Amino acid sequence: MAIEAAGVSLWAWNVDDGRFSMDARGFMLWGLPWCETVTFENLSEHIHPADRDRVRAAFHATRATLGSYETDFRILVSKDIRWIAARGRGADAGIVERTMYGIFLDVTGRKQAEEGHELLAGEMSHRVKNLLAIAAGLTSIAARTTSTKTDMARELIQRLTALGRAHDLVRPLPADQGSAALLGDLISVLLAPYDETGAFSGRIRVAVPRMGVGEVAAASLAMVFHELATNAMKYGALSTSAGTLDISSHSDGDCICLIWVERGGPVVIKPSGTRGFGSQLVERSVERQLRGTIERRWSADGLIVTLNLDRASLAL
């Protein structure tokens, strides 16, 4: 009863012929039909290719390991990926008639939580760096558009306050704090800190349909536009006084297309090498939360970003 409550599966390994015996839970964990024994090579065929060589090396080294050991690895069960922890004792401790004993434990939930924490830590670090860069850019805007220290301080405070409101949108709201927003209002709040002329009458122009956006989609869209605006402030059209930004849209059945067009900024060049953390966040938000696609085109005049989004997903 204790073993079942702990979700533990038992294994026995004959060190001479390499055969494993497992209880019924072990075969269920590995997604294999029941049989009397199974070899390590049979099991290794189901280990994730990225972990297979590491696990094989650890398996062959266990008898020389002093004390207890634990090896975490991924296995493939149909289309699912599970994390397993294999635990036992090395140096033949507790061996009985050439057989060693240990357990398998499903640690998928723990691993997913760890990955989530790592993603959150990376995202927080990325956002802090972006906010510092944006604050510097907004200070530059305030310096260009004011003539006295008092005016500059007042305008900078207003822009930083608007930035705070926009930043609040880049995370899901608690359950009882609102469920939807209009697409145009959402974009207006997010881009307000970067507008030098007010009410989008100058360098930033928005033309999108009047449509509601659900809470989940609003948080995802906010993250996307916040990232695009941050990059435009650091490298693109919003980094210069002459740059402009146009956001337009068109519909095609169940798909709505949002087009982000920067003009008048510095020459942009398609980045080389691996994608940055911000780009990965944007793609993850568009593809997973909004069930859409994102395409970037670095033209001679400026960056063009096309978002093809599922209309039904925007309502969630």
All structural domains of the chain with their residue ranges: 2-106, 111-314
Indicate the residue type of 184. G
- The CA distance from 17 to 38, in Å, is 11
Q: Which residues are 213's β-sheet partners?
A: 181
Low-confidence winner among 17-31, 165-179, 293-307 (lowest mean pLDDT) = 165-179
Task: Return the residue matching tokens 């009047």.
Answer: 210
CA angle, 120 then 178 then 156, to 5°: 65
Q: How far apart are CA 28 and CA 12, in angstroms?
A: 16
Distance CA 316, CA 311 (A): 10
Q: Record the tokens describing residue 148, joined without a space.
A: 């006295």
Mean pLDDT, range 259-272, rounded to an integer: 83
Per-residue pLDDT tens over the stretch 2-47: 888 888 899 888 888 878 888 888 888 888 888 888 888 888 888 8
Q: Which two tokens stand for residue 42?
A: 């049979």
- The CATH number corresponding to 111-314 among 3.50.50.60, 3.40.50.720, 3.30.565.10, 3.40.50.2300 equals 3.30.565.10
Residue 198: which pLDDT band, with cuts at 50, 70 and 90? very low
Architecture of domain 2-106: 2-Layer Sandwich (3.30)
pLDDT score at 162 = 60
pLDDT-based confidence at residue 233 (cuts at 50, 70, 90) = confident
Tell me the DSSP string of 208-234: ----EEEHHHHHHHHHHHHHHHHHHHH
How far apart are the C-alpha atoms of 229 and 260, rounded to whole Å?
10
Q: pLDDT tens for residues 53-106?
A: 888 888 878 777 778 888 889 999 888 889 999 888 887 787 888 888 888 998
Segment 259-288 mean pLDDT = 76
Say what the pLDDT of residue 200 is. 40
pLDDT of residue 15: 82
